[in-house]
Chains A and B, each alone.
Chain A
Amino acid sequence: MTTIPLFHVLILSSLLFAIGFVGVVARKNTLFILMSLEIMLNAVGVAFIGAGSVWQQADGQVMFILILTLAAAEVAVGLALLIRMQKKYHSLDIDLLNQMKG
């Protein structure tokens, strides 16, 4: 039924990944950085599902579930840290966290 080439799925995946990358590097607000990270993770999931569909194995979806778990834990901890940062610096500018310099 479907004749979508794997190539197109991977293009979609890499496009979303690149957009997420731009967001991570270019935005100053830590919250936006976290959101962009979610986009990147999602893009990876797309690639996995596509591959699983090509080879007709459920492994792709299993991998996606694990990525999901990872994203959930990461968001939880990330938001908690963000809350602390807000309390201390009263701002979410990531350039304030620059004490680990050489």
Chain B
Amino acid sequence: MIVLLASLPFYPLVSFLVLIAFGKRLSWRLAATVSVSSMALTVLVSAILLFELSTSQNQVLSVNLWHWFDLSNQMGTGAVNVSFYLDGLSAVMISVVSGVGFLIHLFAAIYMKDDANFSRFMAYMNLFIVAMLILVLADNLVLLYLGWEGVGLCSFLLIGFWYQEKSNVLAARKAFIVTRIGDTSMAIGLLLIFNTFGEFNIAAVTTLAQQADIVTDPNSGSSAEQSNNIYWIALLLLGGAVGKSAQLPLQTWLPDAMAGPTPVSALIHAATMVTAGVYLIARMHGIFLLAPEVMNYVAWLGALTLLLAGVAALAQTDIKRVLAYSTMSQIGYMMLALGAGAWSAGVFHLMTHAFFKALLFLTAGAVIYALHHQQNLFKMGGLLKQLPFETSLFVVGLICLMALPGTSGFFSKEAIIAQLWSSNTAGPMLWWCAIIGALLTSIYSCRLFFLAFLGTARCSEKPQAEKSILLRSALIILALLSLFGGLIPLDLTLVFSAAIQTPLVQLIEPTWLHSVAIITPFIGILFSWFYFKNYRRSPLKVTEHNIEASEGKFVLFCRQGLGFDAFYNMLLVKPYQWLAQVNKRDVFDQIIMLNVWYVGLWHDSLILVQNGSLRWYLAAFGLAIILLLGVSFL
């Protein structure tokens, strides 16, 4: 069993190596078989491990592969091993990653069939799975950081997959740089952890932190300093999570990352990588619980992102960008949950979100492909009649997103909202934010649906759907998971055992909390039904066929991500460019060139001596002898 756990990331790793080594020489069939079957193996092993976990003691499995290196400071020796740790939280993550990953690989194998660089694509996808598995299975922070960087790398490689297009490369670069800022914050946090506790092992760090908090002896300076450090550690780790999960203020990269192929958007920017930040906070919950102010920040960041992304999604014209902002918004929900202390609910929402968001993205991909790579919503329409299969799947995804009763999204979102009102670190204001967020979610979902699938067909060409059985079955499985995934029993109480908090202030919850939460999406649907009736209705007159995107100032502002891009451009990019312009001749280079100038000066003056005249040379001999004799004489 332990061997199985240790071997989990190696199946996709082997596939990656094979595909990279033999790349172009493999036929499509062979490359697809290698990559998808490695994912199938991973799913199988994950399932076996899950079963094993439920029957094992302590509900924990761990295995040590090899000893990596040692670091030591005055607090102790931090041994860093490559070892994997499987508990309830990791089990959820590996099943999501491998399960959804497998389905997306299957979809991608057929979707990217005609691409010239198919092997490279599948290789990068497999490498991503390897890095993600290492990230979630790591038992110490250094190995986690390795996985963290690995997923960042794969994100870069995959966003810029079609690198011949300059805009794709720029989007990839932007993603990398913005997440880099978060990664740096996280690295500083890691170093601070080591400085404070002398350990990198997550369990050890959590224990030490709790001990430091209990001992509140003011005379012992080290523990007081440790408590102070815990606040900063939590804040820095939050910075890392914010970068990777595209929350405020580092959210600008996610909409542009839609430049990558659709399976990439589904896998990385919906289901797995962007949830790495959520996983980090959940995993380090021991630290975060000891810093309640930081948890409050987490909750507020989540809520603000939630609202901001919801507003931005209302103004988008590209179908994938709507889904990107939707992802941003839903991760805001997860952050809100974690900040409020609803750990299990946040992780549960992570799981269900992975299902329905992957479904939405893949279906959107199928639609885009069918319309010959048309992504503009205002050039779609009337697809209900032309692409019924895709439409129905999209409907399934959307109702899960809106959290209509009975779907998996409903269970997870209600679980979150229920714990917001009386949480210590959240409160009524954040509850209202969540409700407004749900309202916005339903409004933009309906807008999306009406524009793309109802109304008249604005696309000039006839859609050609992809009719592959494998592709459709992958989508159907995702749809089933989205609908019924809420019934999966998720027992994370053992993982978060320390997290059960008693409310400081006993707020009496109003009785209407629950009902308001349930009817909010319906209010949204009702509102959109009438507000967007132009989009959904087939107009009677022929001249009204084309609907144009609104170009009002406020709408444009929202479309461009509420001005964050422009703000960062003004704050960071422009000064840097100005500085580079000023330093065009490179100050340091000029200082070194001073040396060259000096030598040149001597050259120009001494070259006059070498004039080729023999008598001059002889006279110089004589002069030299005179001088030498004179010097010796003195």
Contact = CB atoms under 8 A, between A and B. Distances in A.
Q: Do chains A and B touch in the complex (CB under 8 A)?
A: yes
Interface of A: 21, 24-26, 28, 94-95, 97-102
B468 interface: no
B615 A94 contact: yes
B627 to A, nearest CB: 15
Nearest to A26: B615
B612 interface: yes
Nearest to A102: B610
B618 A25 contact: yes
Q: Which of B610, B611, B614, B619 has the most CB of A within 10 A?
A: B614
A101 B610 CA distance: 5
B605 to A, nearest CB: 12
B460 interface: no
B611 A97 contact: no
A14 to B, nearest CB: 12
B614 A97 contact: yes
Contact of B615 (A25, A101, A102): A25
A25 B619 CA distance: 6
9 contacts: A24-B615, A25-B618, A94-B614, A94-B615, A95-B613, A95-B615, A97-B612, A98-B611, A98-B612
Interface string B590-634: 000000000000000001011111110011001000000000000
A102 B607 contact: yes
Nearest to B625: A21
Contacts of B613: 94-95, 98
B615 A99 contact: no
Main secondary structure of the interface of B (DSSP, over half): helix
Nearest to A30: B614
A99 B611 CA distance: 9
A2 B613 CA distance: 46
B612 A99 contact: yes
Contact of A101 (B612, B618, B619, B622): B612
A97 B615 CA distance: 11
Nearest to A101: B612
Nearest to B610: A102
Nearest to A21: B622
A100 B611 CA distance: 8
A101 B611 contact: yes
Contacts of A21: 622
Interface residues of B, number: 11
Contacts of A101: 610-612
Nearest to A99: B612
Contact of A24 (B607, B609, B612, B618): B618
A97 to B, nearest CB: 6
B177 to A, nearest CB: 53
Nearest to B609: A102
A28 B613 CA distance: 11
Contacts of A26: 615
Interface in B262-312: none
Given A24-B618, A102-B607, 8 more contacts: A24-B615, A25-B618, A26-B615, A28-B615, A97-B614, A102-B609, A102-B610, A102-B611
Contacts of A28: 615
B618 A100 contact: no
Contacts of B611: 98, 101-102
Most buried by B among A25, A97, A100: A25
A99 to B, nearest CB: 6
A25 B612 contact: no
Nearest to A98: B612
A55 to B, nearest CB: 24
A101 B616 CA distance: 12
A100 B609 CA distance: 12
A25 B610 contact: no
A24 B607 CA distance: 24
A23 to B, nearest CB: 11
A100 B619 contact: no
A3 B612 CA distance: 48
B606 to A, nearest CB: 8
Contacts of B619: 25
Contacts of B612: 97-101
Contacts of B615: 24-26, 28, 94-95
Nearest to B608: A102
A25 B622 contact: yes
Contacts of A100: 612
Lowest 6 A-B CB distances belong to which pairs?
A: A101-B612, A98-B612, A102-B610, A102-B607, A25-B619, A100-B612
Interface in B192-210: none
Contacts of B610: 101-102
A22 to B, nearest CB: 10
B615 to A, nearest CB: 6
A101 B611 CA distance: 5
A62 to B, nearest CB: 26
A97 B614 CA distance: 8
A31 B618 CA distance: 16
A33 to B, nearest CB: 8
Contacts of B607: 102
A95 B619 CA distance: 14
Nearest to B606: A102
A99 B610 CA distance: 10
Nearest to B615: A25
Contacts of A102: 607, 609-611
A33 B607 CA distance: 26
Nearest to B619: A25
A67 B445 CA distance: 110
A94 B610 CA distance: 16
Contacts of A95: 613, 615
Interface in B444-458: none
A31 to B, nearest CB: 14
A24 B172 CA distance: 78
A25 to B, nearest CB: 5
Interface in B532-590: none
B348 to A, nearest CB: 84
Contacts of B614: 94, 97-98
A101 B609 CA distance: 9
Contacts of A25: 615, 618-619, 622
